[in-house]
Structure 1
Amino acid sequence: MTTYKSRAEVPIEEKWNLDDLYLDISKWEEDLSAIETMANDLKNFDGAIKNGQDLFHFLKKQEELSYKFNHVFAYAMLSVDLDTRDTTSQSLLDRARTLSVKVSAATSFFMPFLLSLDEATFKQYIAEEEGLKYFEEDLLESFRYKKHVLSKEQEEILSQLGEALSAPSTTYGMINNADIQFGEVTNENGEKVELTRGMYSKLIEDEDREKRKEAYKAYYKPYLQMKNSIASTLAAAVKNNVTTSKIRSYPSALEKALFGDNVPKEVYENLIQATKDNIAPLHRYSELRKEKLQLDELRQYDMNVPLVSGVKQEISFDEAFETMLKALAPLGKDYVETLVEFKKARYFDVRETPGKRSGAYNLGVYGVHPFILLNHHDDLDSLFTLVHECGHGVHSKLSSQHQPQITARYSIFVAEVASTVNEVLLIHYLLDKEKNELVKKHLINHFIDKFRGTFFTQVMFAEFEMLTHEKAEQGQPLNVDVFNQIYETLFRQYYGDALVFDEEVKYGWSRIPHFYRPFYVYKYATGFASAIHIATKILDGDKATLESYLEFLKSGSSDYPLELLKKTGVDLTTPEPIKNTLTQFAELVEEFSNL
């Protein structure tokens, strides 16, 4: 694997071209001060919107500001991520963030104003001004919230309480990122060193069981020590959520969370029910792990070690890219050519360098193009990451090309569909062409574990959130014992009797930051199920599904997520897509067992 000591060593074709955003910093500075002026202009509309024309001018100006601001912010963020130690880039990002607060303050009057209009006045404004047709659907979408928006004074009080209401999340973030100190593990030289998260993710996959156990115990140590503090932050977060849902007249906290995407709560309940009705293959997989690892007792720290060893593939970036193009051929010539263009025009930042942000992401910038950050390690995981992020990238590119600015950004609910369709096509391509039995087994094992993490674990988390919120809504207490009892019961239901429980298992809830962003994780599972459904049909040569899927990639947020997915043949209001997904999982486990 190629390692680089500095960014200067990385070949130019493997680095982003940020000139596509700003050729020089003076242009960035110009836009920054222009946005400030525009924000002040927008503030002057407070109390001055008297007719359709005024409303149109406000919205037009707001959209122009948003367009410029996205460019300014993207440039600063992308620069920081290339070297998080660089103070010049940091100051650009700080200035962009400060400006963001100013813009929000300048336009905060608008939503209460809009929702104070009665429907007749609103319709009269639309009739008066032709240009408002462009904004009409967005404005009507805001009206959907009317019965959940309070008076101007009450809204002001709530917004002032915003910081206090988010305190549990902030406090947990501090505990989890800044204060937490993991226990000690033994390094290669036999010395005791403090465990880090990065070390943990490697050690928990180590073939040496003692190393896994030591890492597992060390990792959970601080969570057990701080169990009461963490339980109180989580209980407060759940109760805050329940309280604001009541204040805003939602039937439940769950329905408040689903309202934005216009998702009925049956979709959430279906997901959990269908998964639990078809959980046997996951239990079977736990038993297979126990057999394959030749253990008397399967423990939680045995759940991540790969079951097939001795398969280390070296895959360079160029090779990974070529493999991706072949794997995604079923999506058609245009899709593949779009990706070739991505590489030619330098949309990727490929290599890990000192100070660069870890992980991977895609950032679509409207009016420019997607920017894809990678830290390519020349291995199988990096190939999957490339294919995943390119799914997001093409989704961004096509939505920007085919949608106006107002509907170009797709919602998180559908975001994981495009990335997972690509991963499913890749795994099928690799399995079809692979002759080596060992590599084949390794690939199936890789996909089963991906399935488990992206689907089953997220559904289990979603059920945990639902049960804890229901308790709060019934006025029942939430504390360490309650969280432990719920989490342990769920873990047993999902993973089966093959697993012997260590004391740590029931504290799993204490290390999940997603629980502070309520009812969010289920979207990983619905996105995964939708993608499996679509990719399977495409691989079966279903032309109608392929066409409707390519249309879906151009749709941005031009409709509600469930409606967009229905056009591809996925109806999440029925249990079908979830059942199909679980059938595929059962087949994978069966195939792995036979191999």
Structure 2
Amino acid sequence: MTENETKASGIAGDAGYAAPLYETRAEVPEAARWKLEDIYAAPAQWEAEAKEAEATAAELAACRGRVMGSAASLLKAITLDERLDYLLGRLYSYAVMRSHEDTAAEGPKALAARATQLSVRAAEASAFLSPEILAADEAKIETFLAQEPKLELYRLMLRRILREKKHVLSAEQEAVMAAMGELAGAPDGIFSMLADADMQFGEIADEKGEKRPLTQESYGRYISSPERRVRREAFEGIHRTFAKFRNTLGATYAASVRKDVTFARLRRYGSALEASLYGNEIPVSVYDGLVAAVNEKLPALHEYVALKKKALGVERMEPWDLYAPFTKELKRTFSYETAQKLVLEAVAPLGDEYAQAMRRAFSERWIDVYENRGKRSGAYSWGCWGVHPYMLLNYGGTYRDVSTLAHEGGHSIHTWLSNAAQPQVYASYTLFVAEVASTVNETLLAEHLLGNTGEREEKIFLLSQQLELIRQTIYRQTLFAEFERDAHALAEKGEPLTPELLNRMWSELYTRYYGEEVGANSDLAAEWSRIPHFYSAFYVYQYATSLAAALALVDRILAGGRAERDAYLNLLRGGCSKDPISLLRDAGVDMSTPEPVERALAVFERKTAELGKLLR
């Protein structure tokens, strides 16, 4: 059999596979449910550590006013704070993940609320720590470091605290800010309860004409259906439902933005954007540079939209057409078992250590796989120090779901390697680096599948998936980033963020990014109201910068050898032991320049042209 004949066998899929939708949590097979008992085997253990956290917080609070009395007192306060962070990480992640299994269940919701209250009280108890360190002379800290060898571990942490000097308030003011923590999180909580628990989106007729429930999870499948009617009904069902709540959601988002702006001003930042980036040591120029670089390459996006319009044969391009497949003939579904196999094959270039960690995630119940009614929508990787990470999925069997498994697996193995290599204080990597590992895995998956088929239709499918990854991750997320930046800038000028204003901003951005036809759709205007990431301000830009970095890293890994692979794995092991720009630079990518973004969009142009030739 020749190489071409081998590739002509196509991509391994599972014809006719349909992922289950379970009515109740109890119906989900145990093997498909995450094993949160690895954190707490019994409720009594959670209660015991909650009591320990309260006692530790009280002991830490007793250090107030004496932190800089001696090297020993400084060490005691730091280690108590670290122990409290360890306990709260376990208590909070366990409780919230339990609540995500069924967002309507009262018991888990109450436990999550208790964990939130514990976290707020602990933040109040430790609020004095940074101000007391900052109030001391830097020479005194150096003296303490020389006197107490155990403090050397915390040198970098102390340096980072001193970097915050002009933004940290007095101990009394910090206590007030900490006490506001629960209120500050209210907009996010209100949005989550409304969107995940209370909203109902009705039913939709699928491709066979059978009535199916429309949910935020099933929307991802229907919006990419080859049937235009299904896409339109899904789009309208979701967006018109959100539009009905535009006043509530507008007030909720406006409150979240005002909170960001107020906190930034109180801490003496120049803007909410600067406040968000400062902690991760990311210059505002990186954010603005991303937006500028993407806007320069909008003609490439317009060419892609025109290519899709021609391939679909539609008279007018609508928002629901953006997610349509380029070919109706290729239909691929993947069982969860097949998805695991494909992901393991894709990450093989990262070496045995990486692959073995991924196998453990699959076999040791790190993953909550399928959707059940009431389960939190979306997907994430999360966890706490001292226990393996967890992944929440709502697996549906599409290529998108396989890619999501690879994506969240990247996060989880990043966490696993970082926790193994770094002490607790430096194990938590920054958000800027976090999305690199996930998008490296997504890109490796796409390249692996593209390199193992010779069939024209499969090449069209895979090329279009790669292009969609870049469109949705760089172009779409940068659109989000621009919307967030502009909304916060208006709030900083005192402009009221009314639903009408937000709708207009969103429509204008979509028109600029995707063209007049797409932007003119009236149902599109309220889409901003359904984006959960907007309640973690200035988060989404990192998806775009991360994919740009990931594309560069994958090129290095696939074209290089062991040295390039090891440099990448060292990035994953690095945690926050260096600033993220330095960590990436050590791995071979300099994100302080626009070059990685420009190169990624050049890939988009090249692959668009390649897809166009195949379609012709």
TM-score (structure 2 length as normaliser): 0.86
Question: Is it true that 1:334 corresponds to 2:353 in the alignment?
Answer: yes
Cα RMSD (Å) = 3.4
Question: Aligned equivalents of 2:237 and 2:29: distance in 1?
Answer: 40
* SS of structure 2 residue aligned to 1:567: helix
Query: Match for 2:577 among 554, 558, 563?
Result: 558
CA deviations on 1:555-593 (whole Å, 9 max, x unpaired) are: 111111111111111111111100111011112211221
1:291–1:356 CA distance, 2 compared to 1 (3 A): same
Farther off after superposition, 226-235 or 334-343: 226-235
Farther off after superposition, 385-394 or 72-81: 72-81
Counterpart in 1 of 2:599?
Answer: 580
Kindly state the Cα deviation for residue 528 of structure 1 after the two structures are TM-superposed: 1.3
CA deviations on 1:474-522 (whole Å, 9 max, x unpaired) are: 4556545544443333222211356462223344434334333322211
Partners of 1:363 and 1:393 within 8 A in 2: yes
* SS of structure 1 residue aligned to 2:587: coil
Question: Is it true that 1:305 corresponds to 2:305 in the alignment?
Answer: no
1:137–1:505 CA distance, 2 compared to 1 (3 A): same
Question: Aligned equivalents of 2:52 and 2:64: distance in 1?
Answer: 20
Question: Aligned equivalents of 2:567 and 2:594: distance in 1?
Answer: 21
Farther off after superposition, 137-146 or 154-163: 154-163
Question: Aligned equivalents of 1:345 and 1:458: distance in 2?
Answer: 33
Query: Match for 1:136 among 152, 155, 158?
Result: 155
Partners of 1:290 and 1:498 within 8 A in 2: no
Question: Aligned equivalents of 2:35 and 2:500: distance in 1?
Answer: 53
Gapped runs of 5+ residues in structure 1?
none
CA deviations on 1:341-388 (whole Å, 9 max, x unpaired) are: 444444344455566555433234322322334444444333222222
AA at the equivalent of 1:43: A
Farther off after superposition, 156-165 or 100-109: 156-165
1:28-47 to structure 2, matched below 5 A, reads 28-47=46-65
Query: Match for 1:323 among 327, 342, 346?
Result: 342
Counterpart in 1 of 2:523?
Answer: 504
* SS of structure 2 residue aligned to 1:488: helix
Counterpart in 1 of 2:273?
Answer: 254
Partners of 2:53 and 2:88 within 8 A in 1: yes
1:348-427 to structure 2, matched below 5 A, reads 348-352=367-371, 357-427=376-446
1:85–1:151 CA distance, 2 compared to 1 (3 A): closer
Question: Aligned equivalents of 1:417 and 1:467: distance in 2?
Answer: 26
Farther off after superposition, 53-62 or 105-114: 105-114
CA deviations on 1:204-235 (whole Å, 9 max, x unpaired) are: 33444344434434433355555556555545
1:320–1:479 CA distance, 2 compared to 1 (3 A): closer
Partners of 1:183 and 1:219 within 8 A in 2: no
Question: Aligned equivalents of 2:304 and 2:408: distance in 1?
Answer: 29
AA at the equivalent of 1:335: Y
Question: Is it true that 1:436 corresponds to 2:455 in the alignment?
Answer: yes
Farther off after superposition, 465-474 or 53-62: 465-474
Question: Aligned equivalents of 1:32 and 1:115: distance in 2?
Answer: 30
1:317–1:219 CA distance, 2 compared to 1 (3 A): closer
CA deviations on 1:513-557 (whole Å, 9 max, x unpaired) are: 433332221111111111111012212225543221111011111
1:98-137 to structure 2, matched below 5 A, reads 98-137=117-156
Counterpart in 1 of 2:3?
Answer: none
Kindly state the Cα deviation for residue 137 of structure 1 after the two structures are TM-superposed: 1.5
Farther off after superposition, 80-89 or 204-213: 80-89
Question: Is it true that 1:275 corresponds to 2:275 in the alignment?
Answer: no
1:236–1:152 CA distance, 2 compared to 1 (3 A): same
Question: Aligned equivalents of 1:32 and 1:444: distance in 2?
Answer: 50
AA at the equivalent of 1:134: L
Farther off after superposition, 172-181 or 28-37: 172-181
Partners of 1:448 and 1:589 within 8 A in 2: yes
Farther off after superposition, 236-245 or 103-112: 236-245
1:351–1:476 CA distance, 2 compared to 1 (3 A): closer
Partners of 1:223 and 1:511 within 8 A in 2: yes
Question: Aligned equivalents of 1:397 and 1:540: distance in 2?
Answer: 26
1:321–1:195 CA distance, 2 compared to 1 (3 A): closer
Counterpart in 2 of 1:58?
Answer: 77
1:519–1:31 CA distance, 2 compared to 1 (3 A): closer
Counterpart in 2 of 1:21?
Answer: 39
1:157-236 to structure 2, matched below 5 A, reads 157-159=176-178, 176=195, 196-198=215-217, 200-224=219-243, 227=246, 230-231=249-250, 233-236=252-255
Counterpart in 1 of 2:9?
Answer: none
Gapped runs of 5+ residues in structure 2?
1-16
Kindly state the Cα deviation for residue 159 of structure 1 after the two structures are TM-superposed: 4.8
AA at the equivalent of 2:55: T
1:221–1:394 CA distance, 2 compared to 1 (3 A): closer
Kindly state the Cα deviation for residue 257 of structure 1 after the two structures are TM-superposed: 1.6
Question: Aligned equivalents of 1:155 and 1:573: distance in 2?
Answer: 32
Query: Match for 1:545 among 548, 555, 564?
Result: 564
* SS of structure 2 residue aligned to 1:291: helix
Aligned length: 595
Kindly state the Cα deviation for residue 79 of structure 1 after the two structures are TM-superposed: 4.5
CA deviations on 1:153-189 (whole Å, 9 max, x unpaired) are: 4445555565666666566556655666668867899
1:171–1:438 CA distance, 2 compared to 1 (3 A): same
Query: Match for 1:490 among 505, 509, 514?
Result: 509
Partners of 1:271 and 1:575 within 8 A in 2: yes
1:93–1:173 CA distance, 2 compared to 1 (3 A): closer
Kindly state the Cα deviation for residue 98 of structure 1 after the two structures are TM-superposed: 3.9
CA deviations on 1:218-261 (whole Å, 9 max, x unpaired) are: 43335555555655554554444334433322222221221111
Counterpart in 2 of 1:526?
Answer: 545
Question: Aligned equivalents of 1:336 and 1:418: distance in 2?
Answer: 14
* SS of structure 2 residue aligned to 1:295: coil
1:23–1:250 CA distance, 2 compared to 1 (3 A): closer
Question: Aligned equivalents of 2:368 and 2:202: distance in 1?
Answer: 35
Give the fraction of aligned pairs with identical amino acids, expressed as a percent: 37
Question: Aligned equivalents of 2:380 and 2:322: distance in 1?
Answer: 27
1:357–1:295 CA distance, 2 compared to 1 (3 A): closer
Question: Aligned equivalents of 2:537 and 2:88: distance in 1?
Answer: 28
Question: Is it true that 1:462 corresponds to 2:481 in the alignment?
Answer: yes
1:145-164 to structure 2, matched below 5 A, reads 145-159=164-178
AA at the equivalent of 1:46: R
Counterpart in 2 of 1:452?
Answer: 471
CA deviations on 1:293-328 (whole Å, 9 max, x unpaired) are: 111111122222222224333433333222222221
AA at the equivalent of 1:47: G
* SS of structure 1 residue aligned to 2:63: coil
CA deviations on 1:256-277 (whole Å, 9 max, x unpaired) are: 2211111111111111111111
1:152–1:99 CA distance, 2 compared to 1 (3 A): closer
1:58–1:423 CA distance, 2 compared to 1 (3 A): same
Farther off after superposition, 128-137 or 490-499: 490-499
Question: Aligned equivalents of 1:351 and 1:547: distance in 2?
Answer: 34
Farther off after superposition, 81-90 or 269-278: 81-90
Question: Aligned equivalents of 1:483 and 1:527: distance in 2?
Answer: 27
AA at the equivalent of 1:41: E
Query: Match for 2:587 among 568, 573, 591?
Result: 568
